[in-house]
Amino acid sequence: MRARRVSLHQISDMEDVKTQIITTASRLFLQYGLRSVTIDDVCNEVHISKKTFYNYFRQKEDLIDTVLFQFLDLANDKKNKNKSIFDDSSLNTIDKIVLAFKHWKQDSSIQHSMTLMYDLVKYYPKISTKITERQEQKSKESFKKWIQQGVEEGLIRSDVSIDLLTTYMYFQFSKALSELIGKLEVSLSSTMEFLQDSNIRVLVSEKGYRYYQEKYKKEYPQLNTTSSGGASLPTGGAFYWSEPPLSEEE
């Protein structure tokens, strides 16, 4: 039996259907979450049968995989377009960190992304692992670049290895952010401000902390308490000096 020929027109139509499935699934996943959306929901929206759906995806997990990796590609493209901002030589590391957090606070897609990631980790761990492995190296490279610049500027503490600080900062975004967003009655803006402040207090040297307070104190008021020796220190030990501050007796 001769193999059936598929015309270019038919191929184009098939790609159009696949694109519609992916686009529709993306919208539904963002709106309702990964677990809540079924194959039937997607088929009803696209006006196709489940049989047609299975011509393109073997199972729901394959669709989720495709959609989320497309999200990552779009996010990386967006990041590359903003690369000139974060590579601006006129900005020091603290300025770049604050600028990055301001950008993330204004990005309305973050809240939806965190909801997706929560579903992903809980219900689709294999896909979650694939995505984490893909993004981890890229994220760590960016964080490490910022931290190395800050150490050279004297704004980031030099008493801890750069790799350790990089891993800490990555952890804040891969774990802490997804745990905080959507699970507490706290706005995205407040959550991002908290993460910004806590990260900076851990990362910076005494010189960096003073710069941060002097430049951004109107936006992020200083939180101080008094130690037993009378020296003024940040609240709750959240910030660690590169060198221990001197007490009044010294």
Ordered by start, the domain boundaries in the chain are 9-76, 82-218
Q: Domain 82-218 maps to which CATH number in 1.10.10, 3.90.1530, 1.10.150, 1.10.357? A: 1.10.357
Q: Which residues contact 99 (CB under 8 A, 6 or more apart)?
A: 85, 86, 91
Strand, coil or helix: 38? coil
Choose the weakest-confidence range: 22-36, 64-78, 101-115, 182-196: 101-115
**Residue 7 confidence (pLDDT):** 42
pTM: 0.66
Q: What is the pLDDT of residues 108-150, one digit of tens each?
A: 666 667 678 778 888 999 998 888 888 888 888 888 988 999 9
pLDDT surpassing 80 at residue 34: yes
Q: What is the pLDDT of residues 184-214, one digit of tens each?
A: 677 777 878 888 888 899 999 999 999 999 9
CA pair distance 224, 244, nearest whole angstrom: 16
Q: Are 157 and 242 in contact (CB under 8 A)?
A: yes
CA pair distance 81, 72, nearest whole angstrom: 14
CATH topology agreement for domains 9-76 and 82-218 = no
Q: Which CATH superfamily is domain 9-76 in?
A: Homeodomain-like (1.10.10.60)
CA pair distance 42, 162, nearest whole angstrom: 46
Q: Are 144 and 162 in contact (CB under 8 A)?
A: yes
Provide the pairing of β-strand 232-234 with 224-226. Answer: antiparallel
Which residues are bridge partners to 234 per DSSP?
224
Rounded average pLDDT over 216-241:
44
Q: Are 212 and 204 in contact (CB under 8 A)?
A: yes
Tokens of 35: 């677990």
Torsion angles phi and psi, residue 233, rounded to 5: -130, 155
